[in-house]
A and B are shown apart, each in its own frame.
Chain A
Amino acid sequence: MTTQDVFFYVFSLLTLVCGALVVLNPFSRNPVTSAMFLVLTIVSMAGLFVLLHAFFLAAVQILVYAGAVMVLFLFVIMLLDIKEEQRRRIKTFGLVAGGASVAAIVGIFAYSLFQSKLGPASPAPLVAGATRPLGELLFSRYLLPFEMLSILLLVAMVGVILLSKKDLK
């Protein structure tokens, strides 16, 4: 039981609890609350990334998700000025069916995980988790997808501008 393991347990617990609170908050139905817990989830996930030596991704996670995406969420929530969600009658059928589907997937995952013989508990020979090799990979082997992503972002940007115009035709 090393320090890393302790951190793993701390971060994963934090991730799961916050994730649960995003989805099922017994105290508040306000989307803002959910958004805040989502921020927490993402930050603790970044901690897990650090534990996995993915420092660059951890940074990106915080910058893009916790920074940009969540700001966007909050911005939209405020733009729409959504009141606290009124408590509607929960449909038992939906809940049961949803629960059943989730349970089925969890069961299958658990079964396959239990069946599989994964490698040693210790990490494989360490690859330098630094940013440099990742960058080299991105700009050599994955150059084409990378460039395509840039185009995707451009398209998304244009699309969003068009969609948010007031008189949408």
Chain B
Amino acid sequence: MMLQHIAWIVLFAPLAAAALIALATRRDDRLSAQISIAASAVAFAGSLILFLAFDRFELAWSWLNVGPLKVDLGFKFDALSGLMLLVVTGVGTAIHVYSFGYMQGDRSFARFFASMSLFMFSMLGIVVSNNLAQMFVFWELVGVSSYLLIGFWYERPAAADASKKAFIANRVGDFGFLLGILMVWGLLGTVRFDELEARLRTDPGAMGAAATVAGLLLFCGAVGKSAQFPLHVWLPDAMEGPTPVSALIHAATMVAAGVFMLCRVFFLLNVPDSSALPVIAWIGGGTGLLAALIAVQQDDIKRILAYSTLSQLGMMVMAVGLGGPGPAMYHLVTHAFFKALLFLGAGSVIHAMHHEQDIWKMGRLSQRLPVTCKTFLIGALALCGVPPFSGFYSKDAILAQGFEHNTWLFLLAVFTAWLTTFYMSRLVIVAFFGGPKSSGAEEAHESPGIMTSPLIFLAVPSVVAGIAGIPGRLSTQFGAAAEGAHGPAGFAALFEPFSHSPLPAFLGLLVFMLGVAAACSFYWGAKEDPLPSKLGWFARAMKDRFYFDEIYSALVRLTQETIATAAAWFDRWILSGLMVRGAHGTTELVGRALRLAQTGNLQTYALLLAFGVAWMLFYALVAR
């Protein structure tokens, strides 16, 4: 079937664009951007065709064939990757267009688009991988392009540091991921997903007692990429990159790769011998709560959104851990739309405010930036989970999953949802309503059309994704059991949560109202944050992100200094002292001894020569 081969165009168009820009059109900013946007659009169109035409298929080139290791360069298309393809290319295209306006006038305009295209290629590679090895290769590529984009303004020390931090934190996780891949390969003898799944279906105990370890090692990769506790520290710093990058990579797609991977290998985690899932669930839930708490006390608009992303990712990971990859993917998709929308809205605000990011210097932007404000509100409502916005349905799916499996985590998730509403309301009230808090807020102008049109484009799925039948499509992947009864699409889906599991749905609505009410009572008309005076040290700890960065740097410093001291000791006494000075000392001692023979007196030499001659003659004539 020829139509399938569109897949390769989808995968390689962005790479071709990146290569073309880097090699040929680097000097022409407009052309470079157009190439990049076109490649992204082509990939989106191709994905759409594939999504409509196929349910599942698989293409593969044999790439590595070394002994028992067989690795393909594959293209696995099914409900999971199809949906993800649409999200990545769709959101990606919108953000490409937006960047064309946002990055206007930047010195390295073409480099930005080349990096974006490279990122698109890497991300698509992860999505369509049909085996773990290929996924790991693209996983690392995503890390590299993320590094390039976070450090895009490399002349700023903060950006350079942030890119390094992101890369290193990701490396830590990737190391575990690699170990996990090797372990799975060692235990089951293949890295192809379909073969792995078939083996586990015939023999669920094939991995034996090592299943837990292997699962947790694979989860390490997701911890790094999806910024879960304890490697969550890099994501907020990654906001040093340009805002479109934050929207594309650090909100919508790349950080979702961890969750996507967990869904992809869910069958590896969900075996009878493995107890990895509860650990995953608790880590996810903990990260969600922690990040939400921190978000409450942040003042930087992008940082609030970054911690919100962390929190939502934690929810998704928790859903996977509770045995629900379907709800996790559902939330991933809706979240990608509305979080990208929020970030782009924030970018628009920042653009209008001339790169002011402190929400306490904004205010009454609803009048100055009407389009941005409306779309931002849609995104915020979706995030907070208000029907009929998409976020309500996906979040409800997660809450229902928790309600069915683990009461404590369910309560934790509800509390997190309340916090989410609270900090988002705080953000909206402080930034968009009330009186203007600085002169910049009074003079802000709406961004140009090339930036607002992607906002509108993204606002549409943010609203309707909840009733587009995504769960139904996903249920073909994970089976109805893991999915619950979230089947119908369209009008029927609108009120479905209330009939399916009414308690989580009503609780979700209740915490939304409570959150809005609390935020209004604190922040309506406030000139500064009243929380620190009420909560004291706890607010300060939230503001300072619970001191994770400080603890980590202290830990790193401690280990580094210990190792450095030991290395210095070794260098000074063993290498320099024993080896270098020892060799030098021996040489000098021998030299001093031998120097005694060098009298400089001609006749002494002659004498020695005579003795030498006598000795040789003795051997030649007498002692033969």
Contact = CB atoms under 8 A, between A and B. Distances in A.
A and B directly contacting (CB within 8 A): yes
A132 B607 CA distance: 42
B617 A97 contact: no
A92 interface: no
Interface string B582-620: 000000000000000000000100010011011001100
B53 interface: no
A98 B607 CA distance: 6
A105 B621 contact: no
B622 A105 contact: no
A104 B621 contact: no
Nearest to B612: A101
A104 B614 contact: yes
A54 to B, nearest CB: 26
A164 to B, nearest CB: 21
Interface string A126-143: 000000000000000000
Given A94-B603, A105-B617, A112 B610 contact: no
A98 B614 CA distance: 12
A101 B611 contact: yes
Contact of B622 (A94, A97, A101, A108): A108
A88 to B, nearest CB: 13
B618 A108 contact: yes
A128 to B, nearest CB: 33
Contacts of B611: 101, 104
Interface string A85-97: 0000000001001
A152 B622 CA distance: 36
A31 to B, nearest CB: 17
Nearest to B603: A94
B621 A101 contact: no
A94 B604 CA distance: 8
Nearest to A108: B617
A105 B607 contact: no
Nearest to A112: B621
A108 to B, nearest CB: 5
Contacts of B618: 104, 108
B621 A108 contact: yes
Given A111-B622, A112-B621, A112-B622, A105 B603 contact: no
A108 B611 CA distance: 12
B614 A111 contact: no
B621 A102 contact: no
A9 B47 CA distance: 121
A166 to B, nearest CB: 25
Contacts of A101: 607, 610-611, 614
Interface string A45-68: 000000000000000000000000
Contacts of B610: 98, 101-102, 105
Nearest to B607: A97
Contacts of A94: 603, 607
A75 to B, nearest CB: 23
Nearest to B610: A101
Contacts of A97: 607
A98 B617 CA distance: 17
B613 to A, nearest CB: 7
Contacts of A108: 614, 617-618, 621-622
Contacts of A104: 611, 614, 618
Nearest to A100: B611
Contact of A111 (B607, B613, B621): B621
A91 to B, nearest CB: 9
Nearest to A102: B610
10 contacts: A94-B607, A97-B607, A101-B611, A102-B610, A105-B613, A105-B614, A108-B617, A108-B621, A108-B622, A112-B621
The 5 A-B pairs of least Cβ separation, nearest first, read: A101-B610, A112-B621, A104-B614, A108-B617, A105-B614
Interface of A: 94, 97-98, 101-102, 104-105, 108-109, 111-112
Given A101-B614, A102-B610, 8 more contacts: A94-B603, A94-B607, A97-B607, A104-B611, A104-B618, A105-B610, A105-B613, A111-B621
